Every structure is written in C-alpha cells, then in structure tokens.
Amino acid sequence: MRKRLGELLVLAATVTALGCSEKDATKCQEALDGTRKSVAAADAALTNQWRERSYKYCADQASLTTLDREIAEKTSADTAAKAAEAQRLALNAGLLKTFVTWAGDNRIAPDHASVSPKCDGDDPDAGAPKPSTDPKATERFCTATRTAGSNTLSARYWEADKTILLFMTKAPAPASCDDLGPNKVLKSFDVLAANGGSIKRTVCELGGTLAGMHAVVSQAANAAVYIYSPSYLLKDAALKKIAGE
C-alpha cells in the first residue's frame, strides 16, 4: 500500500511538473528566429525581448548557447564597424579642411602649390617648367601636387591664364558642399554608381576664401571632390560632363 502510494505521488509530481513547464518547440523556434532578425537589424531592445522569450520556451541549452554567441559576435562586429566609420569620418573632415585651406591659399598663384609643377609637354624629369618667350608655349595645362597623409591634393591650371584652375582630391567618405565651407547649392542630380545603383552628385558655388569658385561633390566613398573656376569648364570637357553641364 505504501509502495503504491509512493508511485502515485511520483506520478503526480511528474504530471504537475510537465503541466507547469513553459517549454514549447514552436514558440522556441519563433523566438530564435525573432532574435536573429532583431540582431541583423541592430535593434538591441527587440533583441533582448526575443532572447528572453527564447530562454523561456527553448529546452535545448545548446541552441541558446549558440544564440548568445551569435549575439556577441554581431555586437562586436557592429561596434568595430561604428568605430571604423567614426575614424573614416574624422579623416574625411580633416582632409577636406586641409584641402579647402590649400585651395584658398593657392588660388591666386596655383603654380606655387608645389615646388615642382609639371606642365604638358615638359620633360617629366626636368623639374619645374621653364619660362618661354613663345606666347603659344603657355597654352597648356600644368599640374601641381602635394600629399596630405595618405591622400593627394592636386591643382591643375592653364599656364597662360592661371585663373583657369581646378583643385582635386579624393575623400574616403561621402562629402557634401557644407564640408567645404559657406556655399550655395546650384543643382543636385543622380549619377550611375559602380554597383549599378545611383548616387547623388551636387554642384555648388563656394564662399569665403574660395568665393566665386564652384565645387562638385558626390555621396560616395572614395569619390573625387572638385573645386574649380567656372572658366575651367571651357577647357575640360570631362569635368564639364561631371558637373552636369
């Protein structure tokens, strides 16, 4: 009789335990899927909610361990990506500040933008261009360059009329006209991107030390940033097309 009573008590306890258990395979899978989608969307609050639901309904501890590892790896990757992007934006701001200052300092005498500018037709190993008595000899472009960290700044000007000039560099992150100082947007338009999509390109008129000059910027990483005199477009068909003229 006592043995029978003991068996009944064990059975009752087992039934009670099963009845109180909240583990549910369907809800578990739903919670795991929800957690992973929230992780992919970088929604921390929703990730925590779905994770708690996973622990509530999932009986398999291995799947929960895997889930926590995936959350940790994604969080670590997101943190690293944000830090890298912040560094890239800081480098972008520093480069463009240097670029604008350099352009402003050399717009009057672009031939002084480097110690040895090179002109079309010159011997590349001859150093600075030599003055010529032939007026036609100066009907050509010259280029002056300097480095700014790992970046190159270049000035291209018409030797016979140095007010016809262009300054150019490449920015690691997308640039805007506001990055170049006071400006008035003249136009914005979409252009085809390398990935088959489109990016926004903007043409603006600059103020401050670059007053009267125009700029072209693009909302793409590693895109060229141009600052130029409007008259330069008459000499350079490629930039004229880039500027949407």
- What are the pLDDT digits (tens) for 5-53? 345 334 444 434 444 458 899 999 999 999 999 999 989 899 999 999 9
Based on the fold, state whether residues 66 and 117 are members of the same structural domain. Answer: no
Number of domains in the chain: 2
Based on the fold, state whether residues 79 and 116 are members of the same structural domain. Answer: no
Measure the CA–CA gap between 29 and 31, rounded to whole angstroms.
5
Based on the fold, state whether residues 32 and 74 are members of the same structural domain. Answer: yes
Give yes or no for residue 89 having a pLDDT over 90.
Answer: no
Cβ proximity of 151 and 96 under 8 Å: no
Cβ proximity of 225 and 96 under 8 Å: yes
DSSP secondary structure letter of residue 21: -
Q: What's the mean per-residue pLDDT of the chain?
A: 85
Based on the fold, state whether residues 111 and 84 are members of the same structural domain. Answer: no
Domain that holds residue 41: 22-90
In a domain, 46, yes or no: yes
Based on the fold, state whether residues 118 and 169 are members of the same structural domain. Answer: yes
Based on the fold, state whether residues 159 and 187 are members of the same structural domain. Answer: yes
Strand order from edge to edge, sheet including 223-228: 118-119, 141-148, 151-158, 161-171, 223-228, 214-218, 198-206, 183-192
Q: Answer with the residue of higher pLDDT: 190 or 4.
A: 190
Based on the fold, state whether residues 118 and 156 are members of the same structural domain. Answer: yes
Based on the fold, state whether residues 116 and 70 are members of the same structural domain. Answer: no
pLDDT at residue 127 in the model: 53
Q: Cite the DSSP H helix spans in 58-210.
A: 61-106
Based on the fold, state whether residues 85 and 123 are members of the same structural domain. Answer: no
